[in-house]
């Protein structure tokens, strides 16, 4: 609407916010693997929230106080997410407004309510914001490791078939399926997942070694979010329920995080066990 009104009066439109992809990538790279799992599980869960939000609630959520309250309720370990999504963008928006004002003309800036106070704190000072657009460069290894590691693993299994024979190869594959699938399913059971989620975690774990998209935690959490849809209340009580371990199974959002994380951990442990078994078999064949 602001752009439409500006175009009607012939104003020059200047986008001042940072690219959303840059913000999300910086947020992703600034949090640890544990927090990444929580963030992904929360995003998956939010897709299946079954409560309708009224227009009055939406308008209330647009206010500055509600946004501040939302981030203040997050546990301290997620402070880095707030820094990237809110604080960095406050500085970025403030400097872009300063840059636009250097032409000596009146400007009209349209920003989100949650950024207003932060912008006011930074708009009076000049700063270099190039660092806020910086993203770590991917190495050649980063680009290829998704294919390289599964390729090596598959090649080693074929080596067992070639030198050890069909029976020994099949026994190794069966152990690989049972160990990885079993430990992933155990993780789902510990998280009190739905039986269907447990089965899917078992089936997805062996496939995950060769397909970076199909992971037991992802599949199980997606299924769990669909079968046991969380409530808006669960999101509001994340900070409160995460203070004690009993709340992890009480809160649907946090529990789905467990359904996401524990099968992944089980599958990873299974990978180490199977890999050690694979090298033991190869050593016996050489």
Regarding whether 182 and 100 lie in a shared domain, the answer is no
133 near 255, Cβ under 8 Å? Answer: no
Concatenate the DSSP letters of all residues of 171-192 into one string: HHHHHHHHHHHHHHHHHHHHTT
At which of 133, 158, 185 does a domain end?
133
Closest CA relative to residue 175, chosen from 160, 195, 188: 160
Residue 85 has a pLDDT of 78
- Taking the model in full, what pTM does it have? 0.59
At which of 133, 152, 171 does a domain end?
133
Least confident of 74-78, 136-140, 150-154: 74-78
Instruction: Work out the number of other CB atoms within 10 angstroms of the CB of residue 215.
Output: 20
Number of domains making up the chain = 2
In a domain, 48, yes or no: no
Inform me whether the pLDDT recorded for 278 exceeds 90: no
Instruction: Supply 224's token pair.
Output: 């769990």
Regarding whether 24 and 129 lie in a shared domain, the answer is yes
Torsion sign, CA atoms 151, 156, 161, 167: negative
Regarding whether 148 and 128 lie in a shared domain, the answer is no
Range(s) of the domain holding residue 102: 2-43+55-133
Regarding whether 150 and 167 lie in a shared domain, the answer is yes
Rounded-to-integer distance, Cα 115 and Cα 68, Å? 10
Closest CA relative to residue 93, chosen from 116, 72, 77, 76: 116
Regarding whether 277 and 145 lie in a shared domain, the answer is yes
Residue 122's H or E segment, with its range, is helix 116-122
Regarding whether 189 and 84 lie in a shared domain, the answer is no
pLDDT band for position 4 (cuts 50, 70, 90): confident
In a domain, 50, yes or no: no
Q: How many residues does the chain have?
A: 286
Regarding whether 201 and 106 lie in a shared domain, the answer is no
At which of 113, 133, 153 does a domain end?
133
Most confident of 15-29, 122-136, 188-202: 188-202
Regarding whether 147 and 276 lie in a shared domain, the answer is yes
Closest CA relative to residue 204, chosen from 219, 190, 189: 219
Regarding whether 116 and 178 lie in a shared domain, the answer is no
Mean pLDDT of 11-28: 81
Regarding whether 80 and 37 lie in a shared domain, the answer is yes
277 near 172, Cβ under 8 Å? Answer: yes
Say which residue, 201 or 39, is predicted with more confidence: 201
In a domain, 49, yes or no: no
Say which residue, 61 or 274, is predicted with more confidence: 274
Instruction: Please report how many Cα atoms fall inside a 13 Å half-sphere around the Cα of residue 275, on the Cβ side.
Output: 11
Rounded-to-integer distance, Cα 205 and Cα 201, Å? 6
Instruction: Supply 163's token pair.
Output: 């030198």
Regarding whether 109 and 152 lie in a shared domain, the answer is no
Mean pLDDT of 75-84: 70
Alpha helices in 191-251 (DSSP H): 195-208, 216-227, 232-236, 238-241, 247-250
Q: For the chain, what is the mean pLDDT?
A: 78
In a domain, 124, yes or no: yes
Regarding whether 281 and 150 lie in a shared domain, the answer is yes
Say which residue, 182 or 117, is predicted with more confidence: 182
CA angle at 138 for the pair 137 and 143, rounded to the nearest 5°: 165
């Amino acid at each position: 609407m602001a752009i439409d009104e500006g175009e009607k009066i012939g104003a020059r439109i200047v986008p001042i916010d940072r690219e959303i992809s840059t913000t999300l990538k910086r947020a992703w790279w600034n949090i640890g693997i544990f927090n990444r799992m929580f963030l992904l599980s929360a995003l998956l869960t939010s897709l299946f929230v079954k409560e309708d939000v009224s227009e009055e609630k939406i308008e209330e959520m647009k206010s500055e106080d509600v946004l501040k309250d939302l981030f203040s309720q997050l546990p301290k370990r997620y402070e880095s997410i707030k820094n990237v999504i809110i604080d960095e963008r406050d500085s970025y928006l403030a400097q872009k407004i300063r840059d636009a004002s250097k032409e000596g003309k009146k400007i009209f800036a349209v920003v989100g309510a949650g950024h207003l106070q932060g912008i006011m704190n930074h708009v009076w000072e000049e700063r270099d914001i190039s660092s806020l657009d910086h993203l770590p460069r991917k190495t050649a290894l980063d680009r290829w490791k998704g294919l390289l590691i599964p390729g090596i693993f598959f090649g080693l299994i074929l080596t067992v078939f070639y030198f050890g024979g069909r029976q020994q190869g099949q026994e190794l594959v069966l152990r690989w399926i049972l160990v990885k699938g079993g430990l992933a399913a155990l993780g789902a059971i510990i998280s009190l997942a739905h039986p269907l989620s447990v089965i899917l975690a078992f089936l997805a774990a062996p496939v995950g070694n060769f397909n970076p998209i199909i992971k037991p935690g992802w599949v199980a959490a997606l299924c769990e979010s669909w079968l046991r849809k969380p409530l808006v209340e669960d999101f509001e009580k994340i900070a409160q329920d995460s203070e004690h371990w009993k709340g992890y199974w009480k809160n649907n959002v946090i529990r789905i995080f467990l359904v996401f994380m524990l099968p992944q951990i089980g599958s990873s442990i299974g990978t180490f066990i199977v890999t050690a078994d694979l090298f033991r078999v190869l050593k016996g064949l050489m």
